[in-house]
Amino acid sequence: MGVQLQDIIQKRKVNLSYLSNRNIAIDAHNALYQFLSVIRGMNGVPLKNRRGEITSHLSGLFYRNINFMETGIKPIYVFDGKPPRLKKTEIERRKSVKEQAIQKYEKALEIGDFEEARIHAQATSRLNKQMIKDSKRLLTLMGIPNFQAPSEGEAQAAYMASKGDVWATGSQDFDSLLFGTPRLIRNLTISGRRKLPRKKIYISVSTELISLKEALFQLHINRRQLIALSMLVGTDFNPKGIKGVGPKTALKLVKQFKDIDELSEKFLESGFPKQFREIENIFLNPNVTSEYEIVWDEIDSEGVLQFLCDDNDFSEERVKKALKRVNKWKKNDTRLEKWF
């Protein structure tokens, strides 16, 4: 879910070219779920290989990272580790949502409503261990650094950004700001033309840049107040939040009370989390590691071809064409030399 702050956080649209020569730590699970949701057929069925295994996530990873390479963007993918104990409720909620979506998807297919089927299919995506393993293998073959965080991937990415080891984090979730990333890039993995659900209308999804410093200045609050605001709205660690309190109302409340103890005293019976100190500590002092190495390598073109085409039935012509795009650009643009 992630905390819903889009109504109050100031965003700036940027082109991918603006991110050239910048390294960005991407919340891997977040990106993979985006690929699984978007890359589907007209009836909502994801891409699959001859064994019936889903490959939409591999398609997204490959072609999006080819675009990154052409632009000079230097991605690092950070995978989730063990989730915090307080996230259990949200994880169970997500499972329930997926189960309901599967039922609605199957019902839509039965009556031949493929548009409705596709809408519900987007909420049925699931990642398993093999999919994560295959994603890491593809990234390694492409020379892209990737590693496992001890807990939340976006927390680890935010830590890397706060240390200056990466320029920004890439995620759809505003939680990255709560974890302290100085810069958040949204829509990095899904920018482009998208169809609105149940409408014959297409919109352009632009990449967005959010500065934590500028956002806090604009809202006239500090980071701890932003965390308290988020608890009022609802986070992954207290999904319900306070009934009837959206981000704009929550902003007024944190300015009115300022101290999180006062907020707790005032709204505890209304749903403010009893474990608010533990939740605050998850964001301020997350379980992260400083033991990581960021190194980019050359693409193993033969390895990519074998893995995608021979093992997973991708079009050899399309994959070779994509690889040629990078090789051609590498010869004509010295920026790729800085990629390694």
Q: Give pLDDT tens digits along the chain (340 positions).
A: 567 888 899 899 999 899 999 999 999 999 998 898 888 877 788 899 999 999 999 999 999 999 999 999 999 999 999 988 888 777 777 777 778 877 876 787 777 776 777 676 667 778 899 999 999 999 999 999 999 999 999 999 999 999 999 999 999 999 999 999 999 999 987 766 655 555 565 656 789 999 999 999 999 999 999 999 999 999 988 888 888 899 999 999 999 987 888 888 888 888 888 999 999 999 999 999 999 999 999 999 999 999 999 999 999 999 999 999 887 655 555 444 554 4
Q: 263: closest CA among 221, 298, 301, 292?
A: 221
How many CB atoms within 10 Å of residue 2? 19
Cα torsion 255, 257, 260, 262 to 10°: value is -170
Q: For each of the domains in the chain, give its residue range(s) and CATH number, in order of start.
A: 1-219 (3.40.50.1010), 220-285 (1.10.150.20)
**8 A C-beta contact, residue 185 and residue 168:** yes
pLDDT value at residue 333: 54
pLDDT value at residue 279: 92
pLDDT value at residue 340: 45
Distance CA(317)–CA(190), nearest Å, equals 24
**8 A C-beta contact, residue 87 and residue 236:** yes
How many CB atoms within 10 Å of residue 306? 13
Cα torsion 206, 210, 215, 218 to 10°: value is -40
pLDDT value at residue 288: 96
Tell me, yes or no, if the pTM score tops 0.85: yes
Distance CA(148)–CA(132), nearest Å, equals 11
Token reading at 103:
């039922």
- CA 191 vs. chain centroid, Å, equals 12
pLDDT value at residue 177: 96
pLDDT value at residue 104: 77
Quote the Cα angle for 205-81-61, to 5°. Answer: 35
